[in-house]
Amino acid sequence: MIEFDDVHASYEATLPILKGVSFTIRDGEFVAFVGTNGAGKSTTMRLVNGLLKPDAGQVLIDGVPTTELRTSELARRVGFLFQNPDSQICCNTVREELLFGFKALGQAGPEADERVDAIIEEFGFDADDDPFLLNRGARQLLALASIVVLAPPVVVLDEPTTGLDYRECAKVMDIVRRIHERGTTVIMVCHDMEVVADYATRCIVMSDGTVVDDAPTFDVLRNRDTLERASLVPPQIVDLSFELARDMPQLAETAVARANTVDEMLAAVAEEARTTQDVERSVCA
């Protein structure tokens, strides 16, 4: 469990970044932090794994304040995927890279080797590849794998899909979904609202160092007031559904006004078109 209790934080005393942030994330949740650049999302992430300590208030990981633990100790509980995989990757082969975390935590051994083998298999890596010769998407995947292999109960992802193309993005996010389904708590910062809508179950919206909304993903994405305040661009289908319901009041009670995905919207529109035709037919008759 991760608890923020009225957290204030800054990099320099004169420039507060977080101005009283509170929330609780329970085990097994999938939470997305959204907001513009500079809203305080990345700072919040750094507080979760103790790279930054609060100026005031408390950050509790499983009930323990982060001020009482070193970041390297917190690494057992919180895995952190940085925006740039290149700051993380430092070994000569994929296998070494995946073992690196175990060594750092003093857990190298046959069990670690087994886990590394399993991950190489699952991600479809070549164990002897040189990480620096892989392309950007594969490096991001490797950076993610080197966190996942340690099986931390919480994984924090800072813009995991930035700079990736559609296929790479889907690959990374499907693995994130898989580890979430295995019980890992996932916290991610993400600018791509389509990705947020596809994967996260809860959204925490930040603006200017404060939390402006915290609710199930689609409640947030359908809240025009929140979107406006945090300068968010809603996912296209959500936006479409909202605008249709607004412009055509007769649709307000139909599935069109509730559709969040392409499939849902498709079904809703087909249904509406069919009933309209039925009505027309009965009128003609």
Partner 1 sequence: MIEISNFSFKYRESDQPVVSGIDLTIPDGAFVGITGAAGSGKSTLTYALNGIIPHCYPGDFYGSVVIDGLDTCDVVLTDVSQVVGSVCQDVDSQFVTSIVEDEVLYGLENFGVPRDEIEGRVSRALADMGISDLRDRVISSLSGGQKQKVAIASILALNPRVLVLDEPTAELDPASSQAVFDLLARYAREHGTTVVVVEQKIALLSQYADLLVIVDEGRIRFADEPAKVLEHSDELKRIGVNCPRSTTLMNRLRAEGLYGGASVRNVREAREALKEVLA
Partner 2 sequence: MSSFLEYVPGTSLLHRMNPVAKLAAAALFAVACFCSSNLVFLAVLLAVGFALAATCGMMRPAIGLAKAVFAFSLILAVVQILTTSSGAVLVELPWGYIGTGSLLAALTTVVRLVAAAIPLFLVFYVTKMNDITNAVVKVLHVPYKYAFTFTSTIHFIPLFMNDMKGIMEAQTARGVEFDAGGIVRKVRLMVPLCVPLLVSSVRKTNSAAIAAEVRGFNLRGVASGYKEYPFAGYDVAVMAVAIALVACAVTLGIVL
Give the binding site for partner 2 (CB under 8 A). 11-12, 49, 51, 70-72, 75-76, 78-80, 82, 84, 86-92, 100-101, 104-105, 132, 146-147, 150
Under the binding rule (CB under 8 A), the answer on residue 279 touching partner 1 is no
At position 272, the amino acid (one-letter code) is E
CA angle 186, 188, 194 (to 5 degrees): 110
**Helices 94-104/136-148 angle, 10° precision:** 30
Residue 172 or 268 with smaller CB distance to partner 2? 172
Residue 70 or 167 with smaller CB distance to partner 1? 167
Contacting residue, 247, 249, 281, 284, with partner 1 by CB under 8 A: 247
Residue 42 or 241 with smaller CB distance to partner 2? 42
Under the binding rule (CB under 8 A), the answer on residue 19 touching partner 1 is no
The CA distance from 32 to 261, in Å, is 18
Report what 167 binds from partner 1, partner 2, none; CB cut-off 5-8 Å by kind: partner 1
Residue 98 or 268 with smaller CB distance to partner 2? 98
The distance of closest approach from Cβ of residue 163 to partner 1 in the complex, given in angstroms and rounded to an integer, is 6
Report CA-CA distances (Å) from 251 to 23, 241, 243, 248, 259: 36, 10, 10, 6, 11
Residues 37-56 touching partner 1, rule: CB under 8 A, are 37-38
Report what 137 binds from partner 2, partner 1, none; CB cut-off 5-8 Å by kind: partner 1
Residues 118-137 touching partner 1, rule: CB under 8 A, are 135-137
Under the binding rule (CB under 8 A), the answer on residue 166 touching partner 1 is yes
Under the binding rule (CB under 8 A), the answer on residue 224 touching partner 1 is no
Q: Specify the stretch interacting with partner 1 by CB under 8 A; choose among 19-27, 116-124, 205-213, 271-279.
A: 271-279
The distance of closest approach from Cβ of residue 175 to partner 2 in the complex, given in angstroms and rounded to an integer, is 18
Residue 49 or 223 with smaller CB distance to partner 2? 49
The CA distance from 76 to 127, in Å, is 24
The distance of closest approach from Cβ of residue 38 to partner 1 in the complex, given in angstroms and rounded to an integer, is 6
Q: How do strand 78-81 and strand 202-207 relate by DSSP bridges?
A: unpaired
The distance of closest approach from Cβ of residue 68 to partner 2 in the complex, given in angstroms and rounded to an integer, is 13
Q: Which two tokens stand for residue 107?
A: 């857990």
CA angle 51, 53, 43 (to 5 degrees): 65
* Residues in contact with partner 1 by the rule CB under 8 A: 35-38, 135-137, 162-168, 191-194, 231-233, 235-237, 239-240, 243-244, 247-248, 251, 256, 262, 265-266, 269-270, 272-273, 276
